[in-house]
Structure 1
Amino acid sequence: MADADIQPEVVTSDGLLQQGAEGKLYVGQHNGVRCLVKERFSKKYRHPDLDIQLTRQRIKAEQKAYDRCKVAGVNTPKLLGVDVPGRKINIEYLDQAIVAKRFVDETASSGVLNNPKISWLSEEIGRTVGTLHGHNIIHGDLTTSNMLLDPISDVSGSDFPYRLVMIDFGLSFHSFNVEDMGVDLYVLERALLSAHSQVPELFELVLKSYKEHNTYKVAETIAKFEEVRARGRKRTMIG
């Protein structure tokens, strides 16, 4: 499939892009500029004071994650503004970007090893996650649904005119603990095997790139990931 055939996500007439249990994502305005607004719902089953406290903590954690990613050199949408009382975060709207999950689904019919675009993507995912962990950033929800391919105008020296952009840091946190990084990798492995069973070798290629780009306790992290994976398999067998 040609790149031009893969279209960006469609926005509904009211601007709503997505709604889930934790909140909604819609198109809005920030200082006269079109942006994405991530709004967290109030949880009625919580005590109001606790709900405000937890929401404040999670919004602040997400704000810090964007700041740390900027320092680390990890591509994210620009953070435009935070409205803690309004439970909102305003971020750059990459309206031409496509979700990595959709890209894999529409591109990987011939498998990873015979597809240079998917090979490129696996390299970029590994590099990006390795960079996150190298700067002690735990994403918390590593899936191809939380990765975008954003078109770039300067394509000199590249056959693939996109950059990988990480999104949705609502579960992210800062940690030096290799167990947290191992769990992050395990979540990614399960997500790739579940969402992209047509390319089962995808995670191993991602992991190869990860090992090359993570500069923080790589061997210990991989060992911990293997432990977490073994525990996960044991739970699956026992039920």
Structure 2
Amino acid sequence: MIESAILIKQGAEARIYTAPFLTRTAIIKERFSKTYRHPTLDKKLTARRVTQEARCLFKCRKSGVDTPVLYFVNTENSTICMEFIQGMIIKDLLISDNEYIQNKEKQDELAEKIGIALAKVHAVDVIHGDLTTSNLMLRESNLSLVIIDFGLSYVSSLPEDKAVDLYVLEKAFLSTHPNSEEMFANILEYYQKNYKASQGILSKLAEVRLRGRKRSMVG
């Protein structure tokens, strides 16, 4: 299947391709081997990482989070085949679309979608690991909020891990989208309203922020 695929992106951990799958277009994510590791160990660790990503993706989708549909997983060649999402990346939307930049109502609608989706992810103890506005999309067909790229995801019930997940997204908002403090505050408000266990996580978030500021001051 890789032979007929088109490479669209390459990161530090994987190559991303588009390829035909039955009657539709699919995304194929291929994790490549790390040459500095022993081949046997590398194969074992890569297979575990592929399996973990697929499980987190499936767990979130089962809980009602809109994620790419999983088509198949092949641990032998370290690939995951999943749905190709037709839509707009939130990062691009907030940078280029004046309707979202200037319209408070539109921003609040988006904040609600993000907050509810994150609440559902954390409610099933999935930590995304790389929450940025590049990994959030709106489906073209129904404007549903889609979370993508679970490559660094793992399972944890610790409030600290969930707080760090939120902190990563907050840093992404503030560094990429100027004057987005109010929007992120709204995201946390919807997160809290839709997740009963959120209070302890938000308390941890305050601690994580403080540690982040101290590190910035130290340099």
Q: TM-score, normalised by structure 1?
A: 0.85
SS in 1 for 2:97: helix
Is 1:187 the counterpart of 2:168? The answer is: yes
Is 1:59 the counterpart of 2:58? The answer is: no
Partner of 2:92: 102
Shift of residue 107 of structure 1? 2.4
Partner of 1:18: 9
CA distance in 2, matches of 1:40, 1:32: 25
CA distance in 1, matches of 2:108, 2:99: 13
Q: Which has the higher contact order (CA 8 A, sep 6+)?
A: 1
Is 1:148 the counterpart of 2:128? The answer is: no
Partner of 1:130: 119
Uncovered stretches (5+) of structure 1, i.e. residues with no partner:
1-13, 153-160
Is 1:84 the counterpart of 2:75? The answer is: yes
Partner of 1:237: 217
Shift of residue 24 of structure 1? 1.1
Between 141-150 and 32-41, the greater mean CA deviation after superposition: 32-41
CA distance in 2, matches of 1:235, 1:197: 22
Identity percentage over the alignment?
40
Shift of residue 209 of structure 1? 0.9
Q: 1:103 to 1:111 in 2, by over 3 A?
A: closer
Matches within 5 A, 1:194-205: 194-205=175-186
The structure richer in helix per residue is 2
Determine if contact 2:13/2:31 at 8 Å carries over to the other structure. yes
CA distance in 2, matches of 1:111, 1:36: 30
Q: 1:149 to 1:104 in 2, by over 3 A?
A: same
Alignment RMSD: 1.7
Shift of residue 34 of structure 1? 2.3
Shift of residue 46 of structure 1? 1.2
Partner of 1:9: none
Q: 1:105 to 1:193 in 2, by over 3 A?
A: same
Q: How many residues align?
A: 215
Partner of 1:41: 32
Uncovered stretches (5+) of structure 2, i.e. residues with no partner:
none
SS in 1 for 2:181: coil
Partner of 1:218: 198
Is 1:168 the counterpart of 2:158? The answer is: no
Q: TM-score, normalised by structure 2?
A: 0.92
Is 1:178 the counterpart of 2:168? The answer is: no
Q: Which residue of 109, 124, 130 corresponds with 1:120?
A: 109
Offset from partner CA, 1:48-73 (integer Å, 9 cap, x none): 12211211111011111122112210
Q: Which residue of 50, 59, 77 corresponds with 1:68?
A: 59
Shift of residue 116 of structure 1? 2.1
Give the aligned residue type for 1:105.
Answer: I
SS in 1 for 2:144: strand
